[in-house]
Amino acid sequence: MISALILTYNEEIILAKCLEALHFVDEIIVFDSYSTDKTLDIAASFNARIVQRKFDNYASQRNAALASVSESCDWIVMVDADEIVTSELKAEILKVLKLQDGHTMYRVRRKDMFQDQWIKQSSGYPTWFPRLFKNGCVTVAREINEEYITTGTEGLLQEHLIHYPFNKGLTWWFDKHNRYSEMEAQKMLDEIKEPVHFSSLWSKNPVERRKAQKRLSYRLPFRPTLIFLAFYILKGGFLNGKAGYTYCKLRKTYEWMIAIKFKELKRLQQK
């Protein structure tokens, strides 16, 4: 039995498209943070099981959602409401589950869409996101930009999710990243005290590699500007045209928000 798990909060714009793509699963669970729009009506129209919980942080919310899946379920497809499972990815998921190769978690790449195009270079592709789990074998850590821990081994799926992070518009994106930057600044304050293990920068484990990269980046001077240059020039964001330039500037703005909030937290801590 396969269950699909989607975390939601006011997702009426794109939720139907997300749910339509999940027709191959046996059960859909919409784990909602008390939406005030038509999210629950849309979920009900797809016969989804609706569970509601007040949001506190991303790790706790995802762990609570995973715990809501019945024991009779063998596998969980956990996607965000702004992620669409392609027909190719659906076929690959069904194939690997039939093969039963022993992995307990699979990671998937996303194609990030902005201004009606895939911003491949600007978004730092490829980044691997855990999205397919054996039930009971995965827990989530870190309150934001979560880390997934599995009791078994990991596999990689070759097909993609289509990701629409701007489906609610730029104002919503800024509001969201204003909240994200507060949480990220607090994590930065905690994690910058921990040592950087340089060998982990080349680790085959994406969690360890990403953790080392973050801790190193926290120590870089002019971090927002360096990240803009890394994505726009080194990773080739300029190849995505105006959309690529705008997205890289948005990424720089987000990193700048983290930086100034980190400095403020550090100042208050030293009082």
Q: Which residue has the tokens 């994200």?
A: 180
How high does pLDDT run on average in the chain?
91
Question: Angle at CA 18, nearest 5°, toward 28 and 13?
Answer: 120
- pTM for the structure as a whole: 0.88
- Residues 158-171 as b/e (b if ≥16 CB within 10 A, e otherwise) read eebbbbbbbbbeee
pLDDT in tens, 186-204: 888 877 776 666 666 667 7
Strands (E), 20-141: 27-32, 49-52, 75-80, 83-85, 105-114, 117-118, 128-134, 138-141
> What are the Cα distances from residue 165, in Å, to 40, 50, 81, 267?
20, 23, 10, 33
Q: How many Å is the Cα radius of gyration of the chain?
A: 19
The one-letter amino acid code at 19 reads L
Give the pLDDT of residue 144.
75
Are residues 81 and 8 in contact, defined by beta-carbon separation less than 8 angstroms? Answer: yes
Instruction: Tell me which of 259 and 268 has the higher pLDDT.
Output: 259
pLDDT in tens, 46-94: 999 999 999 998 999 999 999 999 999 999 999 999 999 999 999 999 9
Percent of the chain whose pLDDT exceeds 90: 76
Range with lowest mean pLDDT among 23-32, 109-118, 183-192: 183-192
Give residue 252's pLDDT band: very low, low, confident or very high (50, 70, 90): very high
Question: Angle at CA 3, nearest 5°, toward 61 and 133?
Answer: 70
- Which of left, alpha, beta for 96 (phi over 0: left; psi -120 to 50: alpha)? alpha
Its CATH architecture, for the domain 2-163, is Alpha-Beta Complex (3.90)
List, in order, residues 6 or more apart from 258 with CB less than 8 Å away: 181, 184, 185, 188
Q: CATH 3.90.550.10 residue ranges in the chain?
A: 2-163
Give residue 44's pLDDT band: very low, low, confident or very high (50, 70, 90): very high
CA 230 to chain centre: 21
The one-letter amino acid code at 147 reads E
Instruction: Tell me which of 258 and 193 has the higher pLDDT.
Output: 258
